[in-house]
């Protein structure tokens, strides 16, 4: 009898060990899927329907906002007002959740053009990220469409205006065959590749024109912020700077929008990524920038903290200055930001899942 009880006890323990391992395997696989924000709420509920977890899923919902500022931007300012730029209607996106990232601006006459990244499920339930173009007239979105949708992941459509008022677009293309950032022009309502001046896989490549030279900042796969320079991004290859890599600090090593020049000073924005992706926007001043030397100083951490926009977003990682409004005596910027919303599991205690 004792032998039978011992055998049943061992079988009972083994059963729960196996059940626990199966559960952990399923949970790990599904939570890895979840943290990349690939699913809408109904899909998440369906995926987790059979799990007996005490966790809560906290996802982010990235949107694009326009902020009106006052005072001495970017070193000392406050947010007077903000509004969401409604970009959730465009052909081909499907019916799922949409997330918006990396807005960049250029003007044609009085039409404000916003290039941005949209990530969503298409009609075939395939997760997709595209480069979109929205046109805004008198604060109304009059056109919004997919401009570029290759098979690989694309992001960060930086708009660079040349001296002759022509523009080119730089894309992050780490997911492409060689991963090098491409230079594009808008032709026939599409993006057309014209050059790949940097032979390095880089995230968020950001160009800045200074004293006859184009400088390009971008982050490699090891987290190094690298610096390149050249005469013309549309032709030939760029040279890596002597000071490159600039930094590996996660608070400073990822670009967060255009470099700006204000009051004879040059400022660089960096994502604060040391604890969470999109944890804030940090501010640096570039003191020296030429072909032989680069120097910068750190000025301020999380520049939008304790401002009005805190009521709407807790995550931010990108800022663009609306230069057209500066000419009219106003300071406006566009940022992408995210709210966090929770989903309880079977009414259990809330617990945040670690973000990748």
Q: Which residues constitute the domain of residue 24?
A: 2-54
Cβ-in-10-Å burial (0-12, 13-18, 19+) of 146 comes to middle
Same domain, 7 and 111: no
Residue 347 lies in a domain: no
Same domain, 184 and 276: yes
Residue 176 lies in a domain: yes
Same domain, 49 and 67: no
Residue 352 lies in a domain: no
Same domain, 187 and 172: yes
Same domain, 102 and 144: yes
Q: Could you tell me which residue, 1 or 127, shows the higher pLDDT?
A: 127
Is-contact 317 83, C-beta < 8 A? no
Average pLDDT over the chain, rounded to whole? 82
- Once rounded to an integer, what is the mean pLDDT over residues 61-75? 91
Residue 109 lies in a domain: yes
Same domain, 71 and 172: yes
Same domain, 151 and 243: yes
Residue 297 lies in a domain: yes
Same domain, 78 and 49: no
Same domain, 154 and 255: yes
Determine the Cα–Cα distance for residues 199 and 353; give it in Å rounded to an integer.
37
Residue 351 lies in a domain: no
Same domain, 31 and 139: no
pLDDT at 19: 60
pTM of the model: 0.80
14-23, 55-64, 92-101, 117-126: least confidently modelled range: 14-23
Q: How many domains does the chain have?
A: 2
Structure tokens at 184: 């594009």
Structure confidence at residue 17 as a pLDDT band (50, 70, 90): low
Q: Is-cis flag, bond preceding 74, omega within 30?
A: yes
Domain containing 202 — which CATH number? 2.115.10
- Edge-to-edge strand list for the sheet holding 225-230: 203-210, 213-219, 225-230, 239-240
Structure tokens at 39: 């699913």
Q: Which of 16, 39, 54 is the last residue of a domain?
A: 54
pLDDT tens, 222-269? Answer: 999 999 999 999 999 999 999 999 999 999 999 999 999 998 999 999
Same domain, 41 and 104: no
Is-contact 61 99, C-beta < 8 A? yes
Is-contact 205 172, C-beta < 8 A? yes
Determine the Cα–Cα distance for residues 100 and 102; give it in Å rounded to an integer.
7
Task: Work out the angle at residue 253's Cα, subtended by the Cα atoms of residues 119 and 295, and round it to the nearest 5 degrees.
Answer: 140
How far does CA 228 lie from the centroid of its chain? 22
Structure confidence at residue 24 as a pLDDT band (50, 70, 90): low
Same domain, 110 and 65: yes
C-alpha atoms less than 13 angstroms from C-alpha of 37 in its C-beta half-sphere: 23
pLDDT tens, 45-61? Answer: 455 454 434 444 556 78
Residue 350 lies in a domain: no
Residue 130 lies in a domain: yes
pLDDT at 9: 64
Pairing state of beta strands 225-230 and 239-240?
A: antiparallel
């Amino acid at each position: 009898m004792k032998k039978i009880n011992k055998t049943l006890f061992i079988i009972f323990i083994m059963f729960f060990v196996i059940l626990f391992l199966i559960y952990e395997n399923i949970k790990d696989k599904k939570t890895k899927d979840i943290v990349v924000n690939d699913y809408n709420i109904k899909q998440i509920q369906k995926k987790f329907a059979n799990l007996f977890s005490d966790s809560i899923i906290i996802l982010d919902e990235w949107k694009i906002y326009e902020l009106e500022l006052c005072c001495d931007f970017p070193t000392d300012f406050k947010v007077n007002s903000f509004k969401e730029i409604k970009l959730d209607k465009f052909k081909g996106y499907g019916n799922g959740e949409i997330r918006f990232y990396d807005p960049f601006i250029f003007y044609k006459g009085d039409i404000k053009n916003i290039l941005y990244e949209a990530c969503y499920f298409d009609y075939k339930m395939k997760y997709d990220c595209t480069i979109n173009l929205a046109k805004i007239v008198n604060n109304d979105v009059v056109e919004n469409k997919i401009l570029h949708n290759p098979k690989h992941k694309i992001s960060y459509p930086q708009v660079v205006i040349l001296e002759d008022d022509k523009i080119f677009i730089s894309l992050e293309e780490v997911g492409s065959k060689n991963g090098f950032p491409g230079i594009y022009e808008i032709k026939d309502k599409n993006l057309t590749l014209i050059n790949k001046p940097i032979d390095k896989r880089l995230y968020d490549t950001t160009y800045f024109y200074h004293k006859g030279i184009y400088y390009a900042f971008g982050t490699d796969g090891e987290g190094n912020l690298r610096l390149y320079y050249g005469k013309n991004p549309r032709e030939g290859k760029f040279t890596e700077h002597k000071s490159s890599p600039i930094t590996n600090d996660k608070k400073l090593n990822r670009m967060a929008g255009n470099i700006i020049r204000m009051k004879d000073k040059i400022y660089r924005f960096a994502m604060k990524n040391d604890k969470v992706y999109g944890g804030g926007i940090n501010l640096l001043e570039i003191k020296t920038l030429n072909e032989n030397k680069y120097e910068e100083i750190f000025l301020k951490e999380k520049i939008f903290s304790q401002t009005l926009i805190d009521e709407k977003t807790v995550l931010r990682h990108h800022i663009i200055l609306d230069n057209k409004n500066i000419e009219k005596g106003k300071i406006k910027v566009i940022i992408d930001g995210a709210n966090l919303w929770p989903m309880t599991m079977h009414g259990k205690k809330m617990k945040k899942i670690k973000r990748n």
